[in-house]
Amino acid sequence: MGQDDLAQAILDLENGLVEPIEDPQLAYQLAHHVKPVIDRMTTPGAVDDIGLDSLAPEASLGDSEDRTRRQRRAIKKMPQLDGPLPEMETLSIEDKARWILMERFISLEQHEEILGLQFNDGEREAHLQDLDQLLEMLFSLPRVAKHLAAANIPGLQKIFASSILLFRHPTLHVDGQQPCNLENLRLAYPDFFYKRLKTPNWYEAQDFYTDRIEHPHWALCDFDYLNCTLRRPERKLTGYARQWSLPSPHVRQKSVLEGIYDRIISGEALQEHIFEQNCNACTSTHYKNRGRGPLRMVYIVQKDQKIAIHGKNGLPHWKTSKRLWPGVFPSVTAKESQRAEAPSI
């Protein structure tokens, strides 16, 4: 039984098209998804208005589709280590990150080359201190600390096998130093975008097109998305934070700018497009069509390196004609974000 059959069964259920399910495996998978709602509906005192998108977040990272993909990625990415392993406390800040994430740690030097920048000594020291702050936060997490105490570097590498650590900077070099926004990213990295048509793209008229990254910061980004077919992105992120034992404000839903920036930096550094998956990537960016009407959510899709930007009311759904799952790519930062509940759209 494939994901297509399961997705169609879920859509039929949401649309009220209820028919007997003869495939036992499909019935089992569907039951796995709706069990939390049934449990809540049969609990005395439970609220009446319970829908599939209001499922409790406690199963967020326990979902089979998320967990299976993580395990498969971890097995694929694990290297064979030869020779003695170092003691973490003897390593420099960047070497700590490099030993754990390997090539998926994008160094300051790589960012300088990609962005066309050159950090002075004061900036470099400040950026490294910010990196150290993020690493210390990660190293204090229970699931990480036990491997760190045992000097189990392979165990640490396995934990972060689906993560990339990169640096977001508010400027880049395009005919001089410019703000890092969507407009300048399109100018600096045209290979990541579709060619502009005779008329401007719809998003060029939106405020978010010229919004810049507010301040320099490091982000640990998961490149396995959380499937949002049954739960909204904010609920999936809450479950993700709980699974990592992180305060929720440290787990962020990416803005459209951050999502595209991360794809460009990782693509340039690794020569591999690790975020290019069968996913409508939901972002925290919203807008109003022509400044009026309901808020619309911005989501991005990447195919063959090219990134497309879309917007719609509500979440994008999986369709047989366009087999892309609604999902969210979480990122973890040392500084707390002001992640509020997403607006009703």
Question: Do 31 and 21 touch, CB atoms closer than 8 A?
Answer: no
Mean pLDDT computed over 66-73: 44
Domain hosting 72: range is: 53-332
d(CA 279, CA 84): 40
More confident residue, 164 or 45: 164
Q: Which tens digits make up the pLDDT trace of 156-170?
A: 999 999 999 999 999
Task: Tell me 80's DSSP state.
Answer: P
Total domain count, the chain? 1
Residue 300: inside a domain: yes
Q: What is the pLDDT of residues 84-133, one digit of tens each?
A: 667 888 899 999 999 999 999 999 999 999 999 999 999 999 999 999 99
Please report the beta strands in 174-222, taking only residues with DSSP state E, as ranges in sequence order: 177-179, 217-222
What is the per-residue pLDDT for 24?
Answer: 62
Do the domain assignments include residue 112?
A: yes
What's the pLDDT score for residue 152? 92
For residue 13, being part of any structural domain is answered with no
Q: pTM of the full predicted structure?
A: 0.77
The residue among 209 and 54 whose pLDDT is bigger is 209
Of 250, 252, 254, 276, nearest in space to 263 by CA: 276
Q: In what order do the strands lie in the sheet with 330-332?
A: 163-168, 217-222, 330-332, 251-253
Task: Give the residue-averaged pLDDT of 254-260.
Answer: 99
Confidence category of residue 4, pLDDT binned at 50, 70, 90: low
Q: Which single residue is written with the structure tokens 């030869």? A: 82
87 in any annotated domain: yes
Residue 224 lies in a domain: yes
Q: In whole angstroms, what is the distance from residue 213 CA to residue 211 CA?
A: 7
Q: Using only C-alpha atoms, what is the Rg of the chain?
A: 21
- Asked whether residue 337 is domain-assigned, the answer is no
Given a cut of 80, whether residue 295 has pLDDT beyond it is yes
Give the model's pLDDT for residue 76: 43
Say if 17 falls within a structural domain: no
Structure tokens at 98: 């490099």
CA distance 324 to 281: 9
In a domain, 218, yes or no: yes
